Structure 1
């Protein structure tokens, strides 16, 4: 990314051939191969690996169990553990299918997907409005972003944070940018997004990331105060964009992806930033309550606390590391 061009640079350079990247290239090649494997056969990998990962991924599963206990206190410990295992299965199956985005045709991807609520996108388009898709972190988030791009209702954009692997970073963002999509570095801020929306584009907005105390306000999420970025009402006000909730799902039983699109309560924004941010969180809650196994519960969604500088999960994670 340059100062004049905040779009993520996916160009190839010789440094990517360094031996330290060979493992990542092997992983990308494996994903491409798995993209050709029939879904029913490929999904068996998730069935086999999920119990092993739950057993050995102690830090990640501690975070997930903590989140599930906060968000679903009405469930028994056994029910939450079963939900954790199902979440892990869905995650593995979705990750193993990522190569389909590279090797399969748009027609194949379309027939693998059921979209509900597309009429809301068409209504915004007919009214000459841009759209902000409010997309929680489910495992299928990239797959269904491709469906939106393939249907081309308008040019799409999103923001990203660099991954640890430069090779995977390039690969993932090449896929996200297919079909003319713009992938902006998060450090670029909102200016390119505002420009894109005012030009009639669409924006893939991730509402549930923890951006820290200074950038956030604290509003309830599943009954617990969460540091939440109040950017959605601001973007809607500045650009006139229509906000639409969108949840990306992998249906294990039907071996297909599903995309659920719903409007936020009208009017939005209302003019009250705290209220509008809470409404967004409540809309995310509503979708995740219906499809809890789809969410990345391994994220530190409650990391920043209003009353302490220590991360919410850190004390127990340190104990896990000492025992390992």
Structure 2
């Protein structure tokens, strides 16, 4: 996909409210990092009180997945999760607009050698990530250390799409934004020995999915990770990131490539991935994106969970 280009059309009055909002956000994000954390916390608490539909979805997901916690514990976790989401709003803007040197000071990277080794061997990598609230800044910080391509879904608003793509791609001068449905290009990029950010932890419907347990619940799980690894002759390197509680930045962890993957069957691979998801989410539940209806698609005959 070609680089995003500015169009005179973006100056049309219909875009002026968005320009005003983006300009205000740009000004806010020039504040010190710890001030932005405080502002994000306030925004998250406001979202917790006002975003009723998303709050109900997240609360239901916590009940389904972390039912061993009592109701009070889950509600405190829910509030912390909305705070994390509020902070993520400013992290998005930081990753788009902060000077790269300022961003670099927040990154604590572990396991980069896994990507470097694969690149030296001309081996493609599926950077298997999760939808943590920190995903935007995590990808930006890693992109400063190693070129990564990404799956991309075009935004409906062309101006926001331009700003978003430009902000994301500035960290990777030769990065490729691949349309989510463009399987041919993804395989071509993997076979060329590049690394692609890919997250298999959301519900994309029945097509190309198998029902595999996740937190003990049948979940429509995409089989694409196995297919891409096999057809693209690629390694699967799990990637996680964490916002550090002491305000010093973010820990990015590139884990060792999955051994013997793909395995004996797509179902076994999906189960293995879901078990990894369970471990990582359980370790950092307040920073996971619980507001997604992960169990929306149900097996035939089962009632909806939301």
Report the TM-score, using the length of structure 1 for normalisation.
Answer: 0.87
Match for residue 161 of structure 1? 153
Distance 2:134 2:178 in 1: 20
Q: RMSD value over aligned CA atoms? A: 2.0
Distance 2:153 2:285 in 1: 24
Distance 2:275 2:235 in 1: 17
Distance 1:79 1:225 in 2: 25
In the alignment, does 2:94 pair up with 1:66? no
Secondary structure of the corresponding residue to residue 144 of structure 2: helix
C-alpha displacement at 1:63, in angstroms? 0.5
1:31-61 CA deviation, whole Å, 9 max, x = no partner?
3223311011122112323332212111000
Distance 1:97 1:34 in 2: 12
Distance change >3 Å, CA 172–CA 248, structure 1 → 2: farther
- How many matched pairs? 304
> Which stretches in structure 1 are left out of the alignment for 5+ residues?
1-6, 314-324
Secondary structure of the corresponding residue to residue 255 of structure 2: strand
Distance 1:244 1:207 in 2: 13
Match for residue 12 of structure 1? 6
Distance change >3 Å, CA 195–CA 310, structure 1 → 2: farther
> Which stretches in structure 2 are left out of the alignment for 5+ residues?
none
In the alignment, does 2:188 pair up with 1:195? yes
Match for residue 234 of structure 2? 241
Match for residue 258 of structure 1? 251
Distance 1:142 1:298 in 2: 16
Match for residue 94 of structure 2? 100
Distance change >3 Å, CA 312–CA 166, structure 1 → 2: farther
C-alpha displacement at 1:264, in angstroms? 5.2
1:274-293 CA deviation, whole Å, 9 max, x = no partner?
10111111111111111111
Distance change >3 Å, CA 51–CA 150, structure 1 → 2: closer
In the alignment, does 2:47 pair up with 1:53? yes
Confirm or deny: 8 A CA contact 1:63 1:297 kept in the other structure. Answer: yes
Match for residue 270 of structure 2? 277
Distance 1:33 1:310 in 2: 47
Match for residue 206 of structure 1? 199
Confirm or deny: 8 A CA contact 1:94 1:250 kept in the other structure. Answer: no
1:225-266 CA deviation, whole Å, 9 max, x = no partner?
111110111111112211111112222432412212213542
Show the 5 A alignment for 1:1-324.
7=1, 10-152=4-146, 155-178=147-170, 179=172, 180-187=174-181, 189-263=182-256, 265-307=258-300, 312-313=305-306
Distance change >3 Å, CA 195–CA 168, structure 1 → 2: same
C-alpha displacement at 1:72, in angstroms? 0.5
Distance change >3 Å, CA 120–CA 9, structure 1 → 2: closer
C-alpha displacement at 1:140, in angstroms? 1.4
C-alpha displacement at 1:66, in angstroms? 0.7
C-alpha displacement at 1:110, in angstroms? 1.8
